[in-house]
Amino acid sequence: MNKVDSPQVTKRKTRLSSSCTPNAIESATTTINLPPLTLRDLVFGEEEPLTYDDLISSLPGRRNQIFELVRLLGPVDSPVSPIFVYGGASNGKTSTILQVFRHLNRPFVYSSCRTCYNARQLFENILNQLLLHRKSEINGYSSAKKCEKQADFVNLLKEALVGVVDSLKVNLGKSSGGSVNGSMVYLIFDSLELVRDWDKSSTILPFLFKLHDILKVPDVGLIFVSSSSLDTFYSDTGFVDPIPVYFPDYTEDALRQILMRNQPNPKLYSAFLDLVLKPFCRVTRKLDELSAGLSPLFKKFCEPLDDLEVNPVGENKRKLLNCLQPHIAPAINEILRVTTMSSQVNMKKKKSGASDSIDEIEFHMSTSAKYLVISAFLASRNPATLDASFFDSTGGPANQKKKRKSSEKSKELKEALEEEQFMKGPGTFPLERLLAIFQCITSGSEYPLEEEEEEEEEEDKSLMSDILLQVSSLCSANFISKGGSCPLEGSTRYRSTISEDLALKVAKSLKFPLTKYLYRK
């Protein structure tokens, strides 16, 4: 089913490993002597080139885009303007282009700006492929050419391109070189949108877009692949736009065709999709999210079945569908949730069951760490000025005072404050405040804390160093985020990232009356 990934996987296999025999793989621990790369390695894999019909049927829903691309690339050895392929994530841009090249059987150089994470990696990767250089133990996994600056890259690239094109032309003349079509080389830059986040992106992007004009080599074609449109690539003085090719998201029909591929029991799966695909598509039409989300649901769907080969018809089908119906809505909520900092932990907890009365948390955390989490939560939510009234030694929060305050405020002001809280999110606090609150809530005699009492007996200093260690480990586990330093005080400020639900649950597990200490506007 992993249609999106498969071409890349095969490509990598064909480029790197499939050229060595199975025997060689067995002795992988010793040095492998890969045969030197040839021009043949610049085309897609060793499989037979696809016919146009196979190409269309292998990529459902991409007929128009394939047509457009093949037409723009044109007949063998015809020059091409730079092409800019864009469209949302996981809708088959990369695989379509690679398969189109497999169909055309023309030499190309593919490099993704995701794996080549900076300019130097990108440049060297392209040059390596063009110079048929393989990183190996013998050359100490070094690149063919050292190249960091754009100026050097242009010179080296021109040299390499001319070399490759010349040898391709010689090959064509020999007529034995029928394995490669044409003497043009295409450079494919995938995930171009990531370049925007590189340092010096303001010079690299216009440079890449202008590369075709700078090179002035007619035998090279440039193809950019990006998940965001051209108008998001700002630059000071702009650039001449390449020819755009837009990949719209898959339609529901296309998604169905893709999901149906490689299913052992197509009829059963199709019945399943009838029920499930629509509600899921209302939330997302991204293939990667859908395929990940649907597989556990399909397992649930199959649970009542003894025989997976069964063909659901009539009564049988209705029964199955009825079984699944109640699971869909929760499944959407469960599967398509985002793991952010605050929900990360919740997810772990939810596993234990659907019931809401979970008191215990499923992850292990020491008692003092739990208190720290609560202290951090309080420090983030409560205004610092009210700390004294909440935690002063005369005991307990000043309930009356709080009530009077809230009654004083008009309703509008309250709403405005609430809005502000929504906008600002949890506040920041210095370490000292966290430790002070921690001291207060652990030493509060009102609440007998059996576990803590043991710690209390220990020496104060050792406790403090231990606590500081715990703070830093909570930071690295993302319960507390460490922010920039305060411009006035100059000390590092922290911020609690957990949600209120989680804080309440942690408090519950400690039998700590959190709500009593929480400032409500």
Question: Among 71, 299, 364, 461, which residue sits at the site for another protein (rule: CB under 8 A)?
Answer: 71
Burial of 178 (C-beta count, 10 Å sphere; 0-12/13-18/19+): exposed
Bridge partners of 332? none
Cα–Cα–Cα angle for 240, 245, 250, rounded to 5 degrees: 150
Q: How far is the CB of 223 from another protein (least distance, A)?
A: 14
**Which amino acid appears at position 315 of this protein?**
E
**Which residue is it, tokens 């990949």?**
247
**Which amino acid appears at position 312 of this protein?**
P
Question: Should residue 88 be labelled a site residue for another protein when binding is judged by CB under 8 A?
Answer: yes
**CA distances for 335 relative to 184, 290, 338, 340, 500, angstroms:** 46, 9, 9, 14, 22
Reading the block at residue 199, the tokens are: 């340092």
Nearer to another protein, 221 or 397 (CB): 221
Question: Among 332, 372, 434, 437, which residue sits at the site for another protein (rule: CB under 8 A)?
Answer: 332
Question: Should residue 329 be labelled a site residue for another protein when binding is judged by CB under 8 A?
Answer: yes
Question: Among 63, 114, 149, 348, which residue sits at the site for another protein (rule: CB under 8 A)?
Answer: 149
Bridge partners of 493? 430
* Count of residues near another protein by CB under 8 A: 70
Supply the angle between the helices 150-174 and 201-215 in degrees, to the nearest 10.
Answer: 40
Question: Should residue 213 be labelled a site residue for another protein when binding is judged by CB under 8 A?
Answer: yes
Q: How far is the CB of 162 from another protein (least distance, A)?
A: 15
The 3-class SS string of 410-461 reads CHHHHHHHHHHHHHHCCCEEEHHHHHHHHHHHHHCCCCCCHHHHHHHHCCHH
Question: Should residue 207 be labelled a site residue for another protein when binding is judged by CB under 8 A?
Answer: yes
Select from 65, 107, 59 the least CA-distant residue to 86: 65
Question: Should residue 455 be labelled a site residue for another protein when binding is judged by CB under 8 A?
Answer: no
Question: Among 60, 61, 107, 426, which residue sits at the site for another protein (rule: CB under 8 A)?
Answer: 426
Question: Among 151, 313, 416, 464, which residue sits at the site for another protein (rule: CB under 8 A)?
Answer: 151
Reading the block at residue 118, the tokens are: 């900076």
Question: Should residue 237 be labelled a site residue for another protein when binding is judged by CB under 8 A?
Answer: yes
Question: Among 5, 46, 166, 241, which residue sits at the site for another protein (rule: CB under 8 A)?
Answer: 241
Q: How far apart are the two ends of the chain, measured CA to CA in Å?
A: 52
Q: How far is the CB of 69 from another protein (least distance, A)?
A: 10
Rounded (10°) CA dihedral 467, 472, 478, 479? 20
Nearer to another protein, 230 or 504 (CB): 230
Select from 111, 87, 76 the least CA-distant residue to 187: 111
Question: Among 12, 146, 210, 348, which residue sits at the site for another protein (rule: CB under 8 A)?
Answer: 210
Binding part of the chain for another protein, among 166-174, 308-316, 329-337, 393-401 by CB under 8 A, reads 329-337
Reading the block at residue 107, the tokens are: 């030499």
Nearer to another protein, 178 or 244 (CB): 244
Question: Among 1, 15, 32, 77, which residue sits at the site for another protein (rule: CB under 8 A)?
Answer: 77
Q: How far is the CB of 210 from another protein (least distance, A)?
A: 6
Residue 444 CA to its chain's centroid (Å): 45
Question: Among 35, 238, 296, 304, which residue sits at the site for another protein (rule: CB under 8 A)?
Answer: 238
Question: Should residue 337 be labelled a site residue for another protein when binding is judged by CB under 8 A?
Answer: yes
**What is the spatial distance between Cα 157 and Cα 125, in angstroms, rounded to a whole number?**
11
DSSP state of 398: -
Question: Should residue 257 be labelled a site residue for another protein when binding is judged by CB under 8 A?
Answer: no
Q: How far is the CB of 184 from another protein (least distance, A)?
A: 11
246: helix, strand or coil? strand
Contact set for another protein, span 174-203 (CB under 8 A): 203
Nearer to another protein, 35 or 238 (CB): 238
CB–CB of 107/43 below 8 Å? yes
Reading the block at residue 103, the tokens are: 């169909």
- Mask of contacts with another protein, 353-392, x by CB under 8 A? ----------------------------------------
221 HSE (CA, 13 A, CB side): 26
Question: Should residue 427 be labelled a site residue for another protein when binding is judged by CB under 8 A?
Answer: no
Question: Among 10, 18, 143, 284, which residue sits at the site for another protein (rule: CB under 8 A)?
Answer: 284
Binding part of the chain for another protein, among 5-13, 115-123, 240-248, 300-308 by CB under 8 A, reads 240-248
DSSP state of 366: -
Select from 332, 323, 320 the least CA-distant residue to 268: 320
Binding part of the chain for another protein, among 2-10, 20-28, 118-126, 285-293 by CB under 8 A, reads 285-293
Supply the angle between the helices 252-260 and 287-302 in degrees, to the nearest 10.
Answer: 60
Binding part of the chain for another protein, among 213-221, 314-322, 355-363, 441-449 by CB under 8 A, reads 213-221
Interface residues with another protein (CB under 8 A)? 68, 71-72, 74-75, 77-81, 86, 88-89, 149-151, 154, 203, 206-207, 210, 213-214, 218, 227-232, 237-241, 243-246, 248-249, 279, 281-286, 289, 329, 332-333, 336-338, 340-343, 419, 422-426, 481, 483-484, 495, 497
